[in-house]
């Protein structure tokens, strides 16, 4: 067995243990079949089945459920572990389970299929869950939701898994892409692209990193104090925290629960944001008094960072196509007490019709993308994405870049960023833009805004930086800094 999860922190009410859920053990989900409080495994089964059949987002569904039911802290942690762990390991779980289900997993009712998956996950990946707890709970769930025959089948499959566990290994002769895809549970098309772009070893590290729990990081509000002051405050409050090596304003916190519930968040002392994402505003480097356009601003983390760096002097136009997301930007600006942000709703491709040419000193286009750099936060995304979507989203990115190019003043800076690791959406997109816009050049000065640790580990080219998820266990992020010279 490779890369097993090591569960250490949380006990469920049946006596089993799973790892910390990383969300502070918030209350979890509501069962759909009864008004009684469901068990951790039952909640996980409900969420997994709805993700499977309704293509619901696991993080949203789980969070919604967290707000409806108050489980014991350890049960909330177990349910979270089972949902994310099962989704992360889906194709590997199905690969092994298919040996034990004669008529095939896809012919089972969805809830039965997902009951077997989450039970297999406990037996194979979680070394501190007692076997009897995993099997007994699965059989009891099968009895309550199905009938004697289904519970007997579930019991038989899981008993066979336990007896055969030592034999559940990958064949040595598998091609590299297939091996990586199964060992680290990713779609083969995705792994094939990463092997082609980054090489076999890097692709394997990247895929493995996507199965790790994400860091929780916060950004010190420059208007409310320094990063050092934030670190001191967190430590006084008993929160283990250290300075981020990736972002100058970033602080990584450990086992602190949901930081959105912390007093410092409500007071506007910090913003919750991934470390890689914090680098974007650093590269934009806006100055007090400037006119700045953030084309696709929601939910507002980068927008507020821009305003903070400007000392809240000047104007940041924060545009987003979705009205409900524009409200999120306003909420963040209000929480942080920022007055320089002006929100707007509209298609970013139409911004050139709303503002005069050369209106802005800085433009940030944090473009819609395939999101393949944030799989660890959205594990179901790797199963929902299709390879052809990359070409489709690339076409949109090209149109967006072209549409805002004329809005920048001469000697102004355009920063293009994405949370993906696909060259087609990143380096090649920028290269194409430069060919079509000779009034722009890559700004080699980008390196001055990138910390030494990032220069040493990330992929840095003239005017561009690509952070892969395993470099710092952060989101995968691409940033390019372009200067208008005519």
Q: Which residues are catalytic?
A: 419
Which 3-state string (H, E, C) describes 111-152? HHHHHHHHHHHHHHHECCCCHHHHHHHHHHHHHHHCCHHHHH
Report d(CA 408, CA 292) in Å as an integer: 9
Report d(CA 442, CA 455) in Å as an integer: 17
CA 391 to chain centre: 21
Q: What is the DSSP letter of 23?
A: S
Pairing of strands 10-11, 17-18: antiparallel
CA dist 139 → 134, 142, 167, 405 (Å): 9, 5, 24, 61
* 410: three-class secondary structure by DSSP: strand
Q: Which helix or strand (DSSP H or E) is residue 433 part of?
A: helix 427-436
Report d(CA 302, CA 296) in Å as an integer: 10
Report d(CA 211, CA 203) in Å as an integer: 13
Show the tokens assigned to 184. 């680290």
Contact 447, 383 (CB under 8 A): no
Show the tokens assigned to 327. 């409200």
Closest CA to 224 of 157, 115, 305: 305
Would you tell me how many other CB atoms lie within 10 Å of the CB of residue 343? 22
Contact 129, 7 (CB under 8 A): yes
Cis peptide before 174 (omega within 30 of 0): no
Show the tokens assigned to 36. 């009684």
Report d(CA 271, CA 206) in Å as an integer: 27
The interaxial angle of helices 148-164 and 90-97, nearest 10 deg, is: 100
């Amino acid at each position: 067995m490779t890369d097993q999860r090591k569960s250490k922190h949380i006990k469920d009410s049946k006596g089993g243990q799973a790892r910390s859920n990383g969300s502070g053990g918030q209350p979890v989900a509501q069962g759909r079949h009864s008004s009684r409080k469901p068990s951790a495994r039952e909640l996980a089964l409900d969420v997994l089945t709805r993700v499977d059949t309704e293509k619901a987002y696991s993080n949203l569904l789980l969070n919604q459920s967290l707000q409806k039911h108050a489980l014991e802290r350890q049960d909330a942690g177990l349910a979270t572990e089972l949902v994310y762990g099962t989704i992360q390991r889906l194709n590997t779980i199905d690969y092994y389970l298919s040996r034990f289900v004669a008529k095939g997993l896809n012919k089972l009712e969805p809830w039965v299929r997902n009951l077997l998956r989450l039970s297999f996950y406990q037996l194979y990946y979680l070394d501190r869950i007692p076997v009897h707890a995993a099997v007994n709970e699965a059989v009891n769930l099968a009895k309550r939701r199905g009938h004697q025959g289904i519970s007997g089948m579930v019991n038989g499959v899981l008993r066979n898994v336990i007896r055969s566990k030592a034999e559940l290994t990958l064949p040595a002769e598998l091609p590299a892409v297939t091996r990586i895809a199964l060992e680290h549970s990713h779609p083969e098309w995705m792994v094939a692209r990463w092997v082609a772009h980054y090489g076999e070893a890097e692709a394997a590290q990247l895929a493995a990193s996507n199965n790790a729990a994400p860091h929780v990081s916060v950004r010190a509000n420059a208007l409310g104090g320094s990063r050092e002051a934030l670190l001191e405050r967190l430590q006084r409050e008993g929160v283990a925290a250290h300075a981020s090596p990736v972002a100058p304003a970033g602080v990584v916190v450990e086992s602190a629960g949901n930081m959105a519930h912390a007093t410092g968040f409500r007071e506007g002392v910090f913003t919750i944001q991934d470390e890689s994402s914090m680098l974007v505003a650093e590269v934009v480097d806006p100055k007090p008094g400037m006119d700045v356009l953030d084309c696709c601003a929601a939910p507002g983390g980068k927008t507020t960072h821009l305003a903070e760096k400007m000392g809240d002097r000047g104007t940041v136009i924060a545009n987003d196509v979705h009205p409900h997301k524009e409200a999120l930007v306003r909420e963040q600006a209000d929480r942080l007490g920022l007055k320089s942000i002006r929100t707007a709703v509209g298609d970013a491709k139409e911004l050139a019709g709303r503002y005069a040419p050369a209106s802005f000193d800085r433009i940030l286009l944090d473009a819609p993308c395939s999101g393949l750099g944030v799989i660890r936060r959205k594990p179901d995304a790797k199963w929902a994405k299709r390879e052809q979507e990359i070409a489709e989203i690339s076409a949109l990115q090209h149109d967006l870049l072209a549409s805002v190019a004329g809005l920048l003043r001469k000697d102004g800076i355009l920063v293009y960023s994405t949370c993906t690791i696909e060259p087609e959406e990143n380096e090649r997109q920028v290269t194409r833009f430069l060919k079509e816009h000779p009034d722009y050049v890559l700004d080699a000065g980008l390196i001055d805004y990138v910390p030494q640790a990032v220069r040493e580990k990330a992929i840095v080219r003239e005017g561009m930086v690509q952070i892969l998820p395993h470099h710092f266990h952060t989101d995968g992020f691409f940033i390019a800094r372009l200067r208008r010279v005519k």
